[in-house]
Structure 1
Amino acid sequence: MSDTITPDVSDRICKHMNDDHSNAIVLYAQVFGNVPETETAIMESIDPEGMNLSVKVKGENRPIRVKFDHVLKDSEDAHHTLISMVKKARNPQN
């Protein structure tokens, strides 16, 4: 059974993404956040409607919001959605 996306679950997801998938977060910002000049990015929080990122552009940090294409049901849905977004970002034709 998957967890609903509470602040604790958000923190867990963000820690995992920041520690293990920082390149994916940059892709989220560049492609879905419409900030192609993103140099680095940190996932600050995630909720059922989107994620809040802190991105570095030209040496300056700024916040951006990336909305999902649907409302997430739970942490498992978040997992599959984040993977799908990386695949789309890497191969936009599919």
Structure 2
Amino acid sequence: MSEPFSTQVSDRICSHMNEDRGDALLIYAQTFGSLTHATSAQMLSIDPEGMNLSVQVNNATLPVRIQFDHVLKNSEDAHDTLIAMVGQGRSQG
């Protein structure tokens, strides 16, 4: 059974994304944050309704909130949703 969505789950997801999935974070910022000129992004937090990113655009750092298309149930749902969003972003780009 997947663990419920908690601060610890958010911290673990953010750590993983920032260390290993910078390309995905950039896709989220460019596609779902409508920041097509973004050059990098960092995940600050994630909760059942969305994620908060810090995005570099033209030498400026911008806070970006990206809402999910549904409320996440748990960490497994977060994983599946984040992967689906990368696929959607790649197909739109």
TM bracket, shorter-chain basis? over 0.9
The residue correspondences of 1:2-81 to structure 2 (distance < 5 A) are 2-81=2-81
Uncovered stretches (5+) of structure 2, i.e. residues with no partner: none
Q: Which amino acid aligns with 1:41?
A: A
Paired amino acid for 1:33: G
**Misfit runs of 4+, over 2 Å:** none
Aligned residues: 93
Deviation at residue 8 of structure 1 after TM alignment? 1.0
> How far 1:86 moved relative to its partner?
0.2
Segments of structure 1 that go 5 or more residues without pairing to the other structure are none
Q: Give the equivalent residue in structure 1 for 2:86.
A: 86
SS at match of 1:18: helix
- In 2, Cα distance between the equivalents of 1:24 and 1:8? 21
Q: C-alpha separation between the residues in 2 aligned to 1:4 and 1:92?
A: 31
**Mapped partners of 1:45, 1:3: distance in 2:** 17
Cα shift at 1:92: 2.9
RMSD after superposition = 1.1
The share of aligned pairs that are identical, in percent, is 55
Give the TM-score, by structure 1 length: 0.95
